[in-house]
C-alpha cells in the first residue's frame, strides 16, 4: 500500500502515475498531497515506529475489563446465608418451648420475662403449616432437620470466607468482612439469649452455688445444695444434686458475681448467665480472628465463621450457657498474650482455666514447654546464645512462673480454705477427674449391651477402670507431644488432640465438651484435626437432639462418637489414596494442557489474553 501511495501524485489535472506521463508537479499539488497524507497519520507516529494506517482506522480499541469485587460478592453471600440462619434459629423457638424435656420452671420464668416470645413462633403465625408438619413429622424431627440445615449453612459460609480470602482482599475489605461477621454473630447471640427454655440444668446449678455463698453464707465445697430444698433455684433443678460442688474456685467466684447482679429471680439468673455467655462468645470470636491473623491469615475468615455461627457453639455458649465458653475464653486469651510475648500473663490465664475446670490441667505441660522455649529464644536474641546471662534469664523465667502459679492458686482457694484445707482440694480434684458414672458415652454403650460380657471384660468397662484406660491413652499422647512440640501452632494442635481423645474416651459425654477442642483446632488449622473437630461437633449436635427423645437413647454414642470418627477415618483414607495415586503423574509441559471442552475464541489482535 505504501508503494501504491508512492506511485500516485495529485495534480490539478488528476492523478498520474509517477513512473510515466507527466512527471512535472506544481507547488500547489505537492502541498495538497502533503496535507492529505499528514491528515491520515496519527499524531504519535514517528519515523522509528511505523503504523498500519488501515488497522488504526478500522479496529476498535479493547475495552478495559472491570476487576470483580470479591469482597462485595462475599458480603452479599454471607448476608444471604445469615438471613437463612436467622430464620432457622427463630424456627427453633416453638419446637424447644413445646418439648416436654425442657425445664418447666425455667420456661415459665423466661416467658414471664419475655411475654412477646409466642408472637414470634411460626406455629402461631402459620397454624395451617404447623398442623401439616405435626401430621407428617414430629416436632423433635423438625428440630433435628433445622439443626442439620443450620450446619450446612455454616459450612457454606465458611466456604464463602475461604474463597474470599484467596482473592487478595485489601485491608479495608477485610475489616468490612470482620465487622459484618461480628454484627451478625451478635444478632444470632441475641436470638439465643431470648430462647424460651433450657434443656440442661447446669445454669440453674451455677446460680444455686452463687446463692449458697451470697444468701446462706456457706462454703459450697463443704455443704451440698441439698441442704437448701426451699430455695427457688433448688425447686427448678430436677435431679443430679448429690454432694458439694466440683467446680473450680474461679467458677464459683463468677457465679457469685452473676447472682449479685441477678438477684433472687430465676429469669434474671438465667438471663445473667446468658449475657455472660454471649459476651464471652463475642470475645472468643474476636480472639480467634486475631490469633489466626498471625498464625494463618488466609484461614481467618473461614475459621472465625466455623466458630462464630456454629449452632452448637451458640447453643452451649448462650442458650444453655456452660462454663466451657469461659474456659475457651481463658485459653484464647493465653494464646493471644503468648503471641504478644507476654508469657507470664499468658500463663496466668492458663491457670485460670485450670481453676475453672480441673480437666484443663492437660493444657499446662505443652504450653509450659512452648513458653520455656520462647523465653529462651527471647533471652538469646538479647544476649549471646552461650552467654551465662541467657541461662540465668531462662532460669529466672522458670522461677517467676512458679512463684506466680503459687500466688494465683493461693488467692483462688483462700476464700474457701477454712474447714476445707489441702485434703479437701485433693478430694475435689479427684471427683472432677475420676467419674463414677457412664452417660452418653462409648462406655455407656458397652455397659448397656444386651449381651452378657465375660467378667474380665465387664471389669474393664466399669467407669472406675475405664477412666484409667483413658488416662493411659491421653498420657501417652501427652508424652509424645512433649517430645515433638516446638511451636505455638503445634501446641494448639496437640492440645486439641488431647481433648478430642478425652471426648471419645471419658465415661461421661456431654455436647459442651466439644467447644474447647473445636476452638483449638480452628486456631491450629490442621486440616485433619479440624475435620475431626467439626465432625465431632456435628455428633454433639445430634446428642443435643437425642435429649428430646423420651426416653433418652442410651446407645447414642454409636452415632454421636463412633460415626464421626468412622467418617473422618474413611475421608482421610480416600484423600490419602487419591494423593498417592496422583503423585507420580508427569506434569504437563509449559504451554500445553488439557484440550478445551468447547471451541476457543479466535486470537484477534485486539483480544487480551
State which H helix or E strand residue 374 sits in.
helix 363-382
From the CB of residue 374, how many other CB atoms can be counted at a distance below 10 Å?
18
Q: Residue 515, class by beta-carbon neighbours within 10 Å (0-12 exposed, 13-18 middle, 19+ buried)? A: buried
Q: Which residue numbers in the chain have pLDDT < 50?
A: 1-25, 27-28, 31-57, 590-609
Place of cell 424447644: 96
Q: Would you state the cell numbers that stand for residue 514, as one nine-digit string?
A: 466439644
State which H helix or E strand residue 134 sits in.
helix 127-136
Identify the bridge partners of residue 17 per DSSP, sorted by sequence position.
8
Q: Residue 63, class by beta-carbon neighbours within 10 Å (0-12 exposed, 13-18 middle, 19+ buried)? A: exposed
Q: Residue 456, class by beta-carbon neighbours within 10 Å (0-12 exposed, 13-18 middle, 19+ buried)? A: exposed
* Pairing mode of beta strands 8-11, 14-17: antiparallel
Q: How far apart are CA 515 and CA 327, in angstroms?
A: 9
Closest CA to 164 of 150, 154, 178: 178
Q: What is the predicted pLDDT for the residue at 600? A: 43
Question: Is-contact 554 441, C-beta < 8 A?
Answer: no
Phi, psi of 314 (to 5 degrees): -65, -40
Question: Is-contact 147 251, C-beta < 8 A?
Answer: no
State which H helix or E strand residue 15 sits in.
strand 14-17
Q: Would you state the cell numbers that stand for residue 302, as one nine-digit string?
A: 473461614
Q: What is the pTM of this model?
A: 0.83
Sign of the torsion formed by the C-alpha atoms of 441, 427, 330 and 393: negative
Report DSSP state, residue 356: T
Sign of the torsion formed by the C-alpha atoms of 66, 67, 69 and 73: positive
Q: How far apart are CA 448 and CA 434, in angstroms?
A: 21
Question: How far, in whole angstroms, is CA 262 from its chain's centroid?
Answer: 30
Q: Would you state the cell numbers that stand for residue 370, as one nine-digit string?
A: 512452648
Question: Is-contact 254 326, C-beta < 8 A?
Answer: yes
Place of cell 503423585: 583
From the CB of residue 446, how many other CB atoms can be counted at a distance below 10 Å?
19
- Give the total residue count for the chain: 609
Report CA dihedral (252, 257, 261, 266) to the nearest 10 degrees: -10
Q: Would you put residue 29 in left (φ > 0), alpha (ψ -120 to 50) or beta?
A: alpha
Q: Would you state the cell numbers that stand for residue 585, as one nine-digit string?
A: 503423574
Q: What is the predicted pLDDT for the residue at 317? A: 95
Q: How far apart are CA 150 and CA 146, in angstroms?
A: 6
Q: What is the predicted pLDDT for the residue at 566? A: 94
Sign of the torsion formed by the C-alpha atoms of 429, 434, 437 and 443: positive
Closest CA to 492 of 296, 354, 279, 247: 296
Beta strands in 481-570 (DSSP E): none
Question: Is-contact 309 184, C-beta < 8 A?
Answer: yes
Q: How far apart are CA 289 and CA 82, in angstroms?
A: 19
Q: How far apart are CA 157 and CA 159, in angstroms?
A: 5
Q: How far apart are CA 605 and CA 133, in angstroms?
A: 63
* b/e sequence 472-482, b meaning 16+ C-beta within 10 Å: eebeebbeebe
Q: Would you put residue 419 in left (φ > 0), alpha (ψ -120 to 50) or beta?
A: left
Q: How far apart are CA 432 and CA 370, in angstroms?
A: 27
Q: What is the predicted pLDDT for the residue at 595? A: 47
Question: Is-contact 540 514, C-beta < 8 A?
Answer: yes
Q: How far apart are CA 286 and CA 424, in angstroms?
A: 38
Q: What is the predicted pLDDT for the residue at 254? A: 95
Q: Would you state the cell numbers that stand for residue 279, as one nine-digit string?
A: 459476651
Question: Is-contact 325 284, C-beta < 8 A?
Answer: yes
Q: How far apart are CA 448 and CA 451, in angstroms?
A: 8
Question: How far, in whole angstroms, is CA 511 from its chain's centroid?
Answer: 16
pLDDT tens digits, 556-581: 999 999 999 999 999 999 988 888 88
From the CB of residue 179, how many other CB atoms can be counted at a distance below 10 Å?
10
Q: How far apart are CA 510 and CA 88, in angstroms?
A: 24
Closest CA to 161 of 284, 283, 77: 77
Amino acid at each position: 500500500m505504501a508503494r501504491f501511495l508512492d506511485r500516485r501524485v495529485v495534480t490539478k489535472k488528476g492523478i498520474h502515475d509517477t513512473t510515466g506521463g507527466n512527471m512535472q508537479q506544481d507547488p500547489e499539488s505537492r502541498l495538497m498531497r502533503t496535507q492529505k497524507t499528514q491528515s491520515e497519520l496519527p499524531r504519535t507516529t514517528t519515523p522509528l515506529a511505523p503504523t498500519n494506517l488501515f488497522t488504526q482506522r478500522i479496529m476498535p480499541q479493547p475495552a478495559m475489563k472491570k476487576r470483580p469485587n470479591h469482597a462485595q460478592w462475599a458480603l452479599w453471600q454471607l448476608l444471604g446465608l445469615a438471613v437463612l440462619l436467622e430464620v432457622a434459629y427463630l424456627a427453633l423457638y416453638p419446637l424447644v418451648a413445646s418439648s416436654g424435656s425442657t425445664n418447666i420452671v425455667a420456661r415459665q420464668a423466661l416467658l414471664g420475662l419475655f411475654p412477646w416470645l409466642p408472637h414470634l413462633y411460626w406455629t402461631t403465625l402459620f397454624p395451617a403449616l404447623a398442623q401439616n408438619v405435626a401430621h407428617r413429622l414430629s416436632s423433635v424431627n423438625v428440630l433435628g432437620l433445622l439443626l442439620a440445615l443450620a450446619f450446612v449453612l455454616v459450612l457454606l459460609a465458611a466456604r464463602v470466607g475461604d474463597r474470599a480470602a484467596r482473592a487478595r482482599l485489601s485491608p479495608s475489605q477485610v475489616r468490612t468482612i470482620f465487622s459484618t461477621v461480628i454484627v451478625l454473630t451478635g444478632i444470632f447471640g441475641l436470638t439465643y439469649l431470648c430462647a424460651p427454655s433450657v434443656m440442661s440444668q447446669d445454669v440453674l446449678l451455677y446460680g444455686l452455688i452463687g446463692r449458697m455463698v451470697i444468701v446462706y453464707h456457706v462454703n459450697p465445697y463443704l455443704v451440698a445444695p441439698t441442704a437448701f430444698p426451699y430455695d427457688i433455684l433448688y425447686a427448678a433443678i430436677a435431679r443430679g444434686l448429690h454432694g458439694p460442688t466440683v467446680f473450680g474456685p474461679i467458677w464459683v467466684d463468677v457465679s457469685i458475681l452473676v447472682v449479685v447482679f441477678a438477684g433472687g429471680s430465676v429469669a434474671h439468673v438465667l438471663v445473667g448467665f446468658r449475657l455472660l455467655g454471649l459476651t464471652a462468645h463475642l470475645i472468643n470470636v474476636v480472639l480467634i480472628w486475631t490469633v489466626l491473623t498471625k498464625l494463618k491469615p488466609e484461614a481467618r475468615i473461614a475459621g472465625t465463621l466455623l466458630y462464630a455461627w456454629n449452632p452448637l457453639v451458640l447453643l452451649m455458649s448462650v442458650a444453655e450457657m456452660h462454663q466451657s465458653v469461659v474456659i475457651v475464653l481463658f485459653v484464647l486469651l493465653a494464646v493471644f498474650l503468648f503471641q504478644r510475648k507476654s508469657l507470664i500473663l499468658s500463663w496466668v490465664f492458663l491457670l485460670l482455666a485450670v481453676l475453672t475446670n480441673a480437666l484443663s490441667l492437660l493444657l499446662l505441660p505443652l504450653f509450659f514447654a512452648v513458653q520455656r522455649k520462647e523465653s529462651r529464644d527471647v533471652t538469646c536474641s538479647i544476649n549471646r546464645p552461650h552467654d551465662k546471662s541467657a541461662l540465668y534469664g531462662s532460669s529466672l523465667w522458670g522461677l517467676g512462673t512458679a512463684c506466680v502459679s503459687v500466688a494465683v492458686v493461693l488467692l483462688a482457694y483462700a476464700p474457701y480454705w477454712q474447714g476445707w484445707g489441702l485434703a479437701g482440694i485433693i478430694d475435689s480434684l479427684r471427683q472432677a477427674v475420676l467419674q463414677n458414672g457412664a452417660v452418653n458415652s462409648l462406655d455407656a454403650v458397652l455397659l448397656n449391651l444386651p449381651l452378657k460380657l465375660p467378667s474380665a471384660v465387664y471389669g474393664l468397662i466399669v467407669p472406675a477402670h475405664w477412666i484409667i484406660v483413658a488416662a493411659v491413652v491421653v498420657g501417652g499422647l501427652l508424652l509424645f507431644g512433649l517430645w515433638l512440640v516446638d511451636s505455638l501452632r503445634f501446641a494448639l494442635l496437640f492440645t486439641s488432640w488431647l481433648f478430642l481423645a478425652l471426648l471419645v474416651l471419658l465415661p461421661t459425654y456431654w455436647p459442651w465438651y466439644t467447644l474447647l477442642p473445636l476452638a483449638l483446632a480452628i486456631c491450629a488449622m490442621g486440616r485433619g484435626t479440624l475435620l475431626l473437630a467439626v465432625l465431632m461437633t456435628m455428633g454433639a449436635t445430634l446428642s443435643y437432639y437425642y435429649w428430646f427423645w423420651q426416653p433418652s437413647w442410651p446407645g447414642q454414642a454409636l452415632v454421636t462418637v463412633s460415626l464421626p470418627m468412622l467418617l473422618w477415618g474413611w475421608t482421610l483414607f480416600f484423600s490419602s489414596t487419591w494423593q498417592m495415586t496422583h503423585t507420580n503423574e508427569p506434569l504437563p509441559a509449559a504451554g500445553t494442557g488439557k484440550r478445551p471442552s468447547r471451541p476457543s475464541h479466535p486470537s484477534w489482535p485486539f483480544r487480551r489474553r
